[in-house]
Chain A
Amino acid sequence: MTPAGRVTRRTLLRAAAAGATATAAGCAGGGRSVQVAVVWSGSELDRFREVVATYPDPVRVVSAGNDIDAFLRARHLAGTSPDVAILSRPGLVTEYAARGWLRPVRPSTEYAVPIGLSDLLLTGGQRYGVWVKAAHKSLVWHLPSMLPEQPTSWDELVSLTRRLGALARRGDGPAPLAIGAADGWVLTDWFENVLADLAPSAYDALAGPDADWQGRPVRDTLDRLAELWSVDGAFPGGGRRALLTQYEESVIQVVRSRRAVMVFEADFTAEVVGRFRSGPEEPVTFRFPSAGTGAGALIVGGDVAVVFADARGGVELVEWLTRADSFRPWLRAGGYLSPNTTIALTDYADPVRRQLAREMRGPDTLHFDLSDQLPGAFTGSDGVGIWRIMQDFFSDVTDGVSAGAAVRRATGQLAAAARDAGGGR
């Protein structure tokens, strides 16, 4: 079968399908709704439906979950791509754009995002996506009563961990850190925060085609992580147990069973806290500590809206999503952090999010989640890519392997994975 023949037939089929849809729509007497595939599910999905309910035209939202990439590939093969998709990986945006699946978008005049985010969505000088939701990924959570004084630097965090770890080993207190190491993304978030603090310029290069995964910045970062993670008694139940602890359980260990003092993760931790908190005490957060003075790096995750090439009505919806008050229902309901800096801070209903939004507008250099930008399988999934490599590293350093050996093994694996995925050198 020639490629041309295939295209012709698909076009024919698509035309037939479109005709059938149009006939059906005509019979129903209504306009065609815009179809949006999103990564969200559960309450996030409900909130987003509330948001698009205020869009003038009908919008149909379908949840494709975490496997949205596979879903969109299949739909593309079948010629039934949705009009708009909301993706959690900017790497996918550039990939799809390079294949010609997407059409350029234009944000509204009320749209501005922090420097560093915007560039990720450009391919060949064209903008193929806009940020619609952000996640602040540089937070450490704890109950005030469990930790009266917050560490302000990396060294303080390490010495605090050593002190509390010694107490925990004797059975005199909770472990200093909870960590959901069964979920690889928790470990990559640790890695990214340390790396962005240590070597901000190397951070962005690692996402590119010339990434050097065996260079000094990566080795130093892993060294620093090994220094903290190898502290005896750092985690409740030890390293082996931590590797079987999922992210949400690690939050429960801090806010409910109180087997650990601190847990590091993004602002969406508030949702788990809300479900499992016992007693009236609200947990508080501090920024992921820096090795130097001042605030540490700021890692941001986020979701991007894109429009597919043969979409009808998608561009207008995406433009509308970037307006300052489109997401107001979600802002009011809480649990939403906007990447859009033109939104008034007073629009945030919860004070935590207001504070985080303020931090995102600060003078810090902001970095987008690195593992979400990596190509192919390197980006990670359960048992795959950088997730798996970080888990191996965690397992090594908590199991008594020397930091040097563990770092050598990890950088070797990282470089190999980057090569397999078609990047790095």
Chain B
Amino acid sequence: MSQVKVLGELAVLDDVGPPRRGRAYPAAGATSALLLPAVLLLGALVLWPVLRTLHASVTTDGRWVGAEHFRAALAAPGTGAVVGRTVLWAVLVPAVVTALGYLFAVASRRSEEGGLVRLILLVPVALPLVVTGVTFRLMYDPDPTRGLATLLATRLTGRSADDAPQLLGPGLVTVALMSAFVWAWVGLAVLVFRAALDRLPPSLADAVRAYGGGRRHVLWDAQWRPLLLRTVAVVFALVALGTSRTFDLILVMTPGSVRDDAAVLALRVWQTSGGTTTGQGAALGVVWLVAVVAGMLVAAFFVRQAWPPPRVEATPGPAPTTPPRRLFRLLAAGGAVVWLIPLVVLVATSAHGQVDAAARGWWSAPPGTGSYAALLGGDELWRALGFTLLLATVVTATVLVVALLAAYPLAWLTGPAAQATGLLLMAATVVPVQVIAGPVNEVLGVVLSSGTSRGLALVHVALGVPFAVLVLRNAFADLPAEQVRGARLGGRRWWGTLHRLARHNLPAVIAVSVLEFVQVWNDLAVGLVFSGPEATPIGPFLAAEGRGFVSNSGVLAASSVLASVLPVLLMVLARRQLVAGLVSGGVR
């Protein structure tokens, strides 16, 4: 494909681009029909629940009470700490992820081992956060005969097991959780930075050097200002939004007694709401919602302003950039080794029977297949895996159809209408499901029945559509006009055009499909709130297995490994399309 792509940002955060010129329009009557499924889904399962939550936060049994619920919720003991912790997550973790991501991206460029390093860093991105939680809880087990990190801490500090720093204790639990989150997200930052660095025109650096600039000037004028500032903003914002989903980690990693010491708004809302949306729970939810949407807006505007108009030159081929220095490459290799350790711990623990894994560390007992045998012999895991596969496939297919239909007419929108639609879609993308759980259940109760697999699938579809529409719309809108004309001429009808456009935008379609599939597969929160008893998806299944953590760690590790195979495989195989699909579009 020859269309112009300037990389360095994810399309999702860059939807407020300048007006697009009209190119070809779908039949006017068709437009509303095409948008209808997406509008219905988002209206019923996102917009209405949000309004309903807003309403519940200022009323008691339908009676207006003003800010009373907000005052009560914020004055409740512990709320201040919870809000503070949420902010800490949203500031500190993205900073660390961004810095590490940039370092690894630079260090792993254009060297032979760089590809391997990036591959290792990518694996945690694809893991369900529940599995990440299981892995790090295994590492941080307070017993040095089982927890690798505790063993090292006792050896290094020379203290006894009782005095050793305990990462899962009330003092350090947030640090432990953050380390797991950073581990899981750095790979994504590396991918984005790598794409940005690769698209930097090398001629720019040459020009700076020609004018007598040193290394610092090259970094500043040829890297930072034209492209990296924006990329940093995108990565930071993306991770900051991601930290609102720390829910999974906290549920899996924290023992009951320290849950309050680790709680963030996501967890508090879930704990206080009890599946319905009333009063204080709704008020906390609104606070959270406002924070997330405000973060999204700031990110969007910041990204826009930081963006100088792209100077699109010839497609930068394999540029003769020198590989990074040795020190950097060693750093990359060291990072990869560190990133491998948790994976080794998970797999090694899974290779022990239930009793061995509970009683001693994986390094002190010979491996066996006991846990896998116990798992594969029963049918519970199979049922969960099978159901999740079916669910993820159906949801992905539905999301794709709905989003393709909606993206087509939206791609011709221009001006303020396009910007408003983009912002609305982005807002719908970041709405946390815990906040709107109660009203969504009510809607499901009216249209289907809540607590059923169909209801669960419907919620997943509604939550997946806005992101898919954003990406596909941007991809469509960025096609060169002649290609669209070609599609119009060849297709004659709008669905023919749509078909051709989809084919020309294959990376975007693949990216959306893989991400949606992996998201549904890896989900915990939606499954926890909306799944019925007749079938449990793999995320809630693992979380439930983790209730008796130590006694079950062998089997839990084995089921975690089995649950991770498919998403890891998909992400690794589709990684090129993911980057291409996500960053194409939305620049001009």
A-side residues, CB < 8 A to B, are 9-10, 13, 17, 37, 41, 62-65, 69-71, 73-75, 77-80, 181-184, 237-238, 240-241, 243-244, 246-249, 251-252, 256-257, 272, 275-276, 377, 381-384, 387-388, 391, 395
Closest to B551 in A: A248
State whether A41 touches B544 (Cβ < 8 A): yes
State whether A248 touches B355 (Cβ < 8 A): no
Closest to A80 in B: B449
Provide the residues of chain A in CB contact with B257, threshold 8 Å.
181-182, 184, 243-244, 391, 395
Known contacts A65-B533, A249-B551; A241/B162 CB under 8 A: yes
Rounded to whole angstroms, the CA-CA distance of A278 and B272 in the bound complex is 42
Interface centre among A17, A69, A78, A257 (most CB of B within 10 A): A78
Interface centre among A182, A244, A252, A391 (most CB of B within 10 A): A244
In the assembled complex, the CB of B258 is this many whole angstroms from the nearest CB of chain A, namely 7
Rounded to whole angstroms, the CA-CA distance of A63 and B142 in the bound complex is 32
State whether A249 touches B550 (Cβ < 8 A): yes
Closest to B550 in A: A249
- Please tell me if B168 contacts chain A, counting CB pairs below 8 Å: yes
Provide the residues of chain B in CB contact with A74, threshold 8 Å.
275, 441, 445, 450-451
State whether A73 touches B276 (Cβ < 8 A): yes
Provide the residues of chain B in CB contact with A70, threshold 8 Å.
274-275
State whether B445 touches A73 (Cβ < 8 A): no
- Please tell me if B185 contacts chain A, counting CB pairs below 8 Å: no
- Please tell me if B266 contacts chain A, counting CB pairs below 8 Å: no
Known contacts A244-B169, A276-B359, A377-B274; A77/B450 CB under 8 A: yes
Q: How many residues of B contact A (CB 8 A)?
A: 43
Q: List 25 A-B contacts (CB under 8 A).
A: A10-B446, A37-B533, A71-B532, A74-B441, A75-B449, A78-B441, A78-B446, A79-B445, A80-B452, A182-B255, A182-B256, A184-B257, A237-B142, A246-B550, A247-B548, A248-B551, A248-B552, A249-B358, A249-B549, A252-B358, A252-B551, A276-B355, A276-B358, A383-B260, A383-B271
Task: Give the residues from 440 to 464 in chain B that come closer than 8 angstroms, CB to CB, to chain A.
Answer: 441-442, 444-446, 448-452
Rounded to whole angstroms, the CA-CA distance of A62 and B534 in the bound complex is 6
Interface centre among A13, A182, A377 (most CB of B within 10 A): A182
- Please tell me if B497 contacts chain A, counting CB pairs below 8 Å: no
State whether A78 touches B358 (Cβ < 8 A): no
Provide the residues of chain A in CB contact with B267, threshold 8 Å.
383
Q: Which one of A10, A64, A276 lies within 8 Å of B551 (CB-CB)?
A: A276
State whether A62 touches B533 (Cβ < 8 A): yes
Provide the residues of chain A in CB contact with B143, threshold 8 Å.
237
Known contacts A17-B449, A252-B358, A252-B550; A64/B533 CB under 8 A: yes
Known contacts A77-B441, A78-B450; A244/B166 CB under 8 A: yes
Q: Which one of A237, A243, A247, A275 lies within 8 Å of B258 (CB-CB)?
A: A243
Closest to A17 in B: B449
In the assembled complex, the CB of B357 is this many whole angstroms from the nearest CB of chain A, namely 11
Known contacts A78-B444, A244-B166, A382-B259; A275/B533 CB under 8 A: no
**A-contact bits for B85-125, CB 8 A (1 contact / 0 none):** 00000000000000000000000000000000000000000
In the assembled complex, the CB of B115 is this many whole angstroms from the nearest CB of chain A, namely 40
Q: Which one of A63, A237, A252 lies within 8 Å of B162 (CB-CB)?
A: A237
**A-contact bits for B550-571, CB 8 A (1 contact / 0 none):** 1110000000000000000000
In the assembled complex, the CB of A379 is this many whole angstroms from the nearest CB of chain B, namely 11
Closest to A61 in B: B533
Provide the residues of chain B in CB contact with A65, threshold 8 Å.
533, 544
Provide the residues of chain B in CB contact with A387, threshold 8 Å.
256
Known contacts A13-B446, A384-B271, A388-B260; A246/B548 CB under 8 A: yes
State whether A75 touches B451 (Cβ < 8 A): yes
Provide the residues of chain B in CB contact with A241, threshold 8 Å.
142, 162, 166
Provide the residues of chain B in CB contact with A240, threshold 8 Å.
162, 166, 169
Q: Which one of A17, A248, A391 lies within 8 Å of B550 (CB-CB)?
A: A248
Rounded to whole angstroms, the CA-CA distance of A246 and B142 in the bound complex is 11
Closest to B262 in A: A383
Q: 14 additional contacts, CB 8 Å, given A75-B449, A256-B355?
A: A10-B445, A17-B449, A73-B276, A75-B450, A183-B256, A184-B256, A241-B142, A241-B166, A243-B258, A246-B551, A247-B548, A249-B550, A256-B358, A276-B551
Q: Which one of A79, A238, A244 lies within 8 Å of B449 (CB-CB)?
A: A79
State whether A78 touches B256 (Cβ < 8 A): no
Rounded to whole angstroms, the CA-CA distance of A85 and B428 in the bound complex is 37
In the assembled complex, the CB of B543 is this many whole angstroms from the nearest CB of chain A, namely 11
- A-B contacts counted at CB < 8 A amount to 125
Rounded to whole angstroms, the CA-CA distance of A70 and B281 in the bound complex is 15
Closest to B455 in A: A78
Rounded to whole angstroms, the CA-CA distance of A241 and B271 in the bound complex is 25
State whether B548 touches A248 (Cβ < 8 A): yes
Interface centre among A17, A275, A382 (most CB of B within 10 A): A382
Provide the residues of chain B in CB contact with A252, threshold 8 Å.
358-359, 550-551
Q: Which one of A78, A237, A238, A243 lies within 8 Å of B255 (CB-CB)?
A: A243
**A-contact bits for B58-75, CB 8 A (1 contact / 0 none):** 000000000000000000
Rounded to whole angstroms, the CA-CA distance of A41 and B448 in the bound complex is 26
Q: Which one of A9, A62, A256 lies within 8 Å of B359 (CB-CB)?
A: A256
Rounded to whole angstroms, the CA-CA distance of A80 and B455 in the bound complex is 13
- Please tell me if B161 contacts chain A, counting CB pairs below 8 Å: yes
- Please tell me if B583 contacts chain A, counting CB pairs below 8 Å: no
In the assembled complex, the CB of B349 is this many whole angstroms from the nearest CB of chain A, namely 15
Provide the residues of chain A in CB contact with B271, threshold 8 Å.
381, 383-384
**A-contact bits for B294-310, CB 8 A (1 contact / 0 none):** 00000000000000000
- Please tell me if B263 contacts chain A, counting CB pairs below 8 Å: yes
State whether A73 touches B275 (Cβ < 8 A): yes
Provide the residues of chain A in CB contact with B274, threshold 8 Å.
69-70, 377
Provide the residues of chain B in CB contact with A17, threshold 8 Å.
449
Closest to B161 in A: A237
In the assembled complex, the CB of B145 is this many whole angstroms from the nearest CB of chain A, namely 8
- Please tell me if B354 contacts chain A, counting CB pairs below 8 Å: yes
Rounded to whole angstroms, the CA-CA distance of A251 and B162 in the bound complex is 19
Rounded to whole angstroms, the CA-CA distance of A41 and B442 in the bound complex is 27
Closest to B140 in A: A244
Provide the residues of chain A in CB contact with B255, threshold 8 Å.
182, 243-244, 246
Provide the residues of chain A in CB contact with B452, threshold 8 Å.
80
A-B complex: 4 closest residue pairs judged by Cβ atoms: A383-B259, A78-B445, A248-B551, A182-B255
State whether B359 touches A80 (Cβ < 8 A): no
Provide the residues of chain A in CB contact with B552, threshold 8 Å.
248
**A-contact bits for B344-374, CB 8 A (1 contact / 0 none):** 0000000000110011000000000000000
Closest to A395 in B: B257
In the assembled complex, the CB of B96 is this many whole angstroms from the nearest CB of chain A, namely 26
In the assembled complex, the CB of A338 is this many whole angstroms from the nearest CB of chain B, namely 25
Provide the residues of chain A in CB contact with B142, threshold 8 Å.
237, 241, 244
State whether B450 touches A244 (Cβ < 8 A): no
Rounded to whole angstroms, the CA-CA distance of A73 and B544 in the bound complex is 20
Rounded to whole angstroms, the CA-CA distance of A64 and B540 in the bound complex is 12
Rounded to whole angstroms, the CA-CA distance of A10 and B443 in the bound complex is 12
Rounded to whole angstroms, the CA-CA distance of A273 and B7 in the bound complex is 59
Task: Give the residues from 265 to 283 in chain B that come closer than 8 angstroms, CB to CB, to chain A.
Answer: 267, 271-272, 274-276
**A-contact bits for B231-259, CB 8 A (1 contact / 0 none):** 00000000000000000000000011111
Rounded to whole angstroms, the CA-CA distance of A384 and B263 in the bound complex is 11
Q: Which one of B256, B355, B551 lies within 8 Å of A382 (CB-CB)?
A: B256
Rounded to whole angstroms, the CA-CA distance of A391 and B446 in the bound complex is 41
Closest to B273 in A: A70
In the assembled complex, the CB of A270 is this many whole angstroms from the nearest CB of chain B, namely 14
Closest to A251 in B: B551
State whether A383 touches B550 (Cβ < 8 A): no
Rounded to whole angstroms, the CA-CA distance of A275 and B356 in the bound complex is 11
Closest to B267 in A: A383
State whether B451 touches A71 (Cβ < 8 A): yes
Provide the residues of chain A in CB contact with B168, threshold 8 Å.
244
Rounded to whole angstroms, the CA-CA distance of A314 and B229 in the bound complex is 65
Rounded to whole angstroms, the CA-CA distance of A80 and B161 in the bound complex is 52
In the assembled complex, the CB of B366 is this many whole angstroms from the nearest CB of chain A, namely 17
